[in-house]
Amino acid sequence: MVKETLTALRVSPWGAYVDCTLGEGGHALALVKAVEPAPRVLGIDLDSEALAMARRRLRPYGDGVRIVLGSYTDLLGLAERNGFKPADGVLFDLGVSSLQLETGNKGFSFSNEGRLDMRFDTRQKLTAHEVVNLYAEKDLVEAIFRFGEDRNARRIAGAIVNGRPIETTAELAKAISNAVGSRHRGRVHPATRTFQALRMVVNKELENIQAGLEQAIEVLGAGARLAVISYHSLEDRLVKGFLRNESSSCICPPGMPVCVCEHSARLRLIGKGVVKPSDDEVRSNPRSRSAKLRVAERLPV
């Protein structure tokens, strides 16, 4: 959704933009090529392999692009230290990248066998291997049901515990398939939701997204744009709720006779709802079919 993202951010010459999920640098490259003179871009990511690829890709733009190994949970600090506060736009492209899915040793996908890992940041200690092999069964049930939204969570968690030790993505996918058995119907592999849940647990994704969005508001200048692309329902519900609250003058519970929250709107929603990829993009990139783009504008303080 590069074209839609550039439109949403209203990229301007000499502007300052923060790509909070740089990955291989696709969106950042589109930003610097969008207008002349090129805007400045700060790219942030936890994946050192992806950053190495992004550096090579963006090297022709010199000091106009700053690439940082870090997390958007430190967005405010990174923006301040690198001269990107206030920013003219902030972008989040959430979820797991194609590079991560296709690299077997990262353990994100059962399509490529590898050790259970799933860390965005390889410096952290918690891995999917630890979650799968050490978590209590009830904790696995809760994680798979909450983050994978899988009604077979109890059956899957039981199969995981009974199959320990589980070392690889292929072993885990097989245990899940055997557990679900004939209950599985449709094109989606029965392990998909569990892999999603484990990834979200390992990387504390929802908590980190919330923290990043809150800091994005502090980074944006008046009239600047926030663009967020999400790929599954939990992410999108969090983003939608956050933007709704931050664009409302009152967030008191329904039925309150008088407003007591003292909340002030900090954002203005852009557009009538969510932007989805075009049919042409979905045909050329099937992984984009679940993408949802939401946009808001920073109000004057």
**Does some domain include residue 294?**
yes
Question: What residues make up the domain containing 264?
Answer: 2-93+205-298
CB 219 within 8 A of CB 88: no
Report how far residue 187's alpha carbon sits from residue 47's, in angstroms, rounded to the nearest whole number: 30
Q: Are residues 82 and 111 in the same domain?
A: no
The domain boundary, picked from 151, 170, 203, lies at: 203
Q: Are residues 265 and 142 in the same domain?
A: no
The domain boundary, picked from 203, 223, 246, lies at: 203
Listed in sequence order, the residues at least 6 apart from 180 whose beta carbon sits closer than 8 Å to its beta carbon are 152, 155, 156, 190
pTM: 0.94
* CATH number, residue 142: 1.10.150.170
**Does some domain include residue 80?**
yes
CB 119 within 8 A of CB 111: no
Q: Are residues 196 and 209 in the same domain?
A: no
> How do beta strands 40-45 and 16-19 pair?
parallel
**Does some domain include residue 98?**
no
Q: Are residues 19 and 145 in the same domain?
A: no
Question: What is the chain's pLDDT, residue by residue, as a tens digit (301 residues)?
Answer: 999 999 999 999 999 999 999 999 999 999 999 999 999 999 999 999 999 999 999 999 999 999 999 999 999 999 999 999 999 999 999 988 777 777 667 889 888 889 999 999 989 999 999 999 999 999 999 999 999 999 999 999 999 999 999 999 999 999 999 999 755 555 678 999 999 999 999 999 999 999 999 999 999 999 999 999 999 999 999 999 999 999 999 999 888 889 998 899 999 999 988 999 999 999 998 888 999 999 999 999 8
Q: Are residues 57 and 187 in the same domain?
A: no
State the total domains in the chain. 2
